[in-house]
Every structure is written in structure tokens, then in C-alpha cells.
Chain A
Amino acid sequence: MTDVGYLVAGYGITFAVLASYAAWIVSKKRALARELPPEERDSRWP
């Protein structure tokens, strides 16, 4: 395989950034939900 380093960097950065962003959304959502009373936590789509 050619350009292995570039491919690892490109795929690695892409999946790492997307996974970190998804994890940030989930953790912040849980943290904020804890600040609200139970009846206010419902934030269904849309």
C-alpha cells in the first residue's frame, strides 16, 4: 500500500474528530439535563 502515513492521518483525524464531537454532545446534554427539574428535561425532536 502506498501513502500509508497520509491515509492513516486523514482517516484518523476524521474519525477522531467526529467521535470526539459526538461524545461532547452526549456528555454536555447529560450535564445540562441534570441542571433542570425532571419535567423540564424533555427535549424531543423536533
Chain B
Amino acid sequence: MRSGIGTRILGTAAVASLALLAVMALVITPQDVNQLDAVRFLYIHVPLATLMYVAFGVTAIASALYLWPRYRARKWDLLAGSSAEIGVVVTGLVLVTGSIWGRTTWGVYWTWDARLTTTAVLFVLFLGYLALRRVGGDVDARAKRNAIAALAATIDLPIVHKSVEWWRTLHQKSSILDEETFLHPHIHGSMYWTVMLGIGAFLLLFSWLLVNRYRLAKLEDRVEDEGLERAIAERRAEADAMTGAP
């Protein structure tokens, strides 16, 4: 199966912008006064964290649409599952890059800080959601169960975001994603624009991944249906052969 021209353009744009991001992040931008070169983690860690919110946000919206009888369709369940899987991969990378960055600035890979802990909980919750999607049952009942589990797990998303304000944390306050810092960012010049480039590049990548993962989910669904239909036909043929029916 070949991808459409739109998907190929999206993929090319994602790769090109990620290559530009690597050059900007590792070569062009200056050192930070306090963190020196460890500040370069900012250019992947913050975009990955933004992507985590977007991916699980898409999962929550698609799940809510499935539960809404007026909009109920199989595609929302498949879209929710696809976005959640990408979200889990990205959240894993948020934890890894944050952990390495923490080692260079805090001196430890891990501490039970509110932001780190709530993010780890989010990772585990959506891992559980992905495991739940594999549990069998009627298609509609499975999809409803998945949607309720996704919405329950999404409750942790605003808690992750607000954790640096609600508790005293080692993790710094939000760099970009709040009203105050979005209008008056704490970082300036090439550093600010490189973070923005990172967010744009990772959003392009997310779009490409989501389109392709969703297509894969639809194929998996069809293969499962085909297998079921084939099995039913085989059982009927066996039954007919035993009873001598034509």
C-alpha cells in the first residue's frame, strides 16, 4: 500500500524541519549562562512534552466523540487508540530526555518531584489503556470501554500541567505553555525561535505518525474481520460436511 502525495509531503516536511531543528539546537543557538550546553535539551524536551499533551488531547476528544451517540463511529475509537500509542512513545521520550537533563542540572536522573511523578503516572495510565484495547469482546462494548478508560486517564493531563504551580517542585515552571509566559516568554532570541521550531517540527511528525498509524489501525481492523469471516465460513463448511447438508 502506497501513501498519498499529501502524506509524503507531510513526511518530507517533518524530516526537513527535524534536521533544521538539530542544526539550530546543537550548533547555532548559544550556551546558557547557568546550564551551559545542557540547555540544548530544552529544544527537544519541551516540544516532546507539548506533543504529549496534543496526542492525549486527541485521544480524549476522539473518545468523547465515540461516547456521544450522535457522532458514534468506529473511526473515533481507532483514532483514539492510534493517538494514544504515539502519546505513550512520546511520553516515554519525555521521561528519558527529562531524566538525562535532570542528571546534568540537578545531579540525579530521577526524583519524586510532582511533575515527574504525575508524568510517570500518565505514562503508566496510558500503557494500561493500550493493554485494555487488546482485551476481547463485542466491538461496540470494547470501544465504549476504551473511551471511558481514555477519558479517566486524561484527568491526569491537567494535573501534569498544573503540578509545577500546585506543588513546590524541583522542576521549573512552564517555559511556554501558560498565559503569562506565552505572551512574555522567559527565553529570548534564537533560543525562543528554536523551541518554536521544535514544536512545529514535532507537530509535523505527529501528524504524519497519526495519519499512518490510523491507516494501520484500519488495516488491522479489516484483517481481524477477514479472519473472523474466514473462521465462520470454515466452521459452517465443517458443520455442513458433518450433517451432509448441500
* Residues of A that sit less than 8 Å from B by CB: 1-4, 6-7, 9-11, 13-15, 17-18, 21-22, 25-26, 28-30, 32-33, 35-36, 40-41, 43-46
Contacts and interface: CB of A to CB of B under 8 A. Distances in A.
B216 A28 contact: yes
Tell me whether chain B's interface is mostly helix, strand or loop, or mixed.
Answer: helix
A14 B243 CA distance: 60
Interface centre among B25, B96, B213, B222 (most CB of A within 10 A): B222
15 contacts: A3-B37, A4-B37, A10-B96, A13-B97, A15-B18, A18-B205, A21-B209, A29-B215, A30-B1, A43-B1, A43-B219, A43-B222, A44-B4, A44-B215, A45-B214
Contacts, number: 98
Interface residues of B, number: 43
Interface stretch (B38-46, B127-135, B158-166): B38-46
Given A36-B226, A40-B222, A13 B215 contact: no
A18 B19 CA distance: 13
Interface in B37-84: 37-38, 40-41, 44-45, 48, 75, 79
Contacts of B75: 46
B92 A46 contact: no
A33 B219 CA distance: 7
A25 B25 CA distance: 28
B215 A6 contact: no
Interface in B173-223: 205, 208-209, 211-216, 218-220, 222-223
A32 B216 contact: yes
B37 A1 contact: yes
A22 B218 contact: no
